[in-house]
Amino acid sequence: MTSLIINADDFGLTAGVNRAIVELHRAGVVTSATLMARAPATEDAVRIACATPSLGVGCHVVLVDGKPVLLPLHDIPHLAESVHNQFRRSLAGFLGWLYIDPRHRFSSAWAASREIEAEAAAQIRTLQDAGLHLTHIDTHKHTHMFPAVLRPLLRAARAAGIRAVRNPFEPAWSLRASPRAPWLRRAQINLLRLLEPAFRRIVADEGFTTTSGSIGILATGMLEAATISSLLQSLPAGTWELVAHPGYNDPDLARAHTRLLASRETDRDALSTVLQFPSIDLISFADLQTHSEDGSA
């Protein structure tokens, strides 16, 4: 059996992103979305999610390129930069702090883990306190592919009653089905796939459920209809997640400082291609546990 979760990231980023997500859900395309706990349009996203119970909603935990929920920064003095009360802007800067920065080493890996867990727990709690039943977690820029982030993230999720997490690794067959991707990004994703065995081991040890893998990550920023068609024609048995970033390219999006501007409209327009593949079972993360138990994940 082949099942597919179509998850829209960055729910809450702007009103235009929120509108695109709910429109695609009502069209029978997007089955799931991950919501940012502190973003410009979070309140609007929460309102939409509460009014749309058929849309599976997870927490899009932000640890880089955003603002923390825990303010002031007493509980996360190293995770965020106190000058602007913001996380580090780039993934490279975040990883440099986590693994290389000598100022971090004195505070120990345990302290970093504690700060990540505390902030993740606060983001999850913010959404749950708003009345949302969260189906799963993932992370902005896929930071949870790194074990030093994954373990505290799963502890925070478990404490909140969440037991499903995105598998952020794209399989080799999906990379081959995305021929237009730049070679540098392809090389980066192939290199990061070396972390997948550790990810699977930690997820299993912690008792979490995940998918067979994610597709569309290599094609982020160029997820056109032809690419989606190529991916779905190659889709093997299992439970997969198509990661998408739909939205409307409006002034709010420009102010969000995201690198994905016009491409969000490309995603929005192309995602309806999945309706041309009726044999694929579209599910949400809320259904993932059932599929795992019957052996399809």
Neighbour count for residue 232 (Cβ, 10 Å): 20
d(CA 206, CA 217): 25
pLDDT at 97: 87
Asked if 52 contacts 284 with a C-beta cutoff of 8 angstroms, the reply is no
pLDDT at 297: 58
Six-digit token string for 278: 């009726």
Give phi and psi for 77, each to the nearest 5: -65, -20
Give CATH for domain 2-293.
3.20.20.370
Q: At what angle do helices 15-26 and 262-270 cross, to 10 degrees?
A: 10
Per-residue pLDDT of the chain (297 residues; tens, 9 = 90+): 899 999 999 999 999 999 999 999 999 999 999 999 999 999 999 999 999 999 999 999 999 999 999 988 888 988 988 777 899 989 999 998 888 765 655 456 778 899 999 999 999 999 999 999 999 999 999 999 999 999 999 999 999 999 999 999 999 999 999 888 888 889 999 999 999 999 999 999 999 999 999 999 998 878 899 999 999 999 999 999 999 999 888 777 667 666 555 567 778 889 999 999 999 999 999 998 666 544 445
Six-digit token string for 84: 């602007």
pTM score over 0.85 = yes
- Sorted by where each begins, the domain ranges of the chain are 2-293
d(CA 21, CA 284): 14
Asked if 27 contacts 54 with a C-beta cutoff of 8 angstroms, the reply is no
Q: Where are the alpha helices (DSSP H) in the chain?
A: 15-26, 42-51, 91-95, 102-105, 108-129, 147-159, 172-176, 183-192, 196-205, 225-233, 251-255, 262-270, 288-293
Q: Which residue has the tokens 């991950």?
A: 34
pLDDT at 105: 52
Helix (H, G, I), strand (E, B) or coil at 295: coil
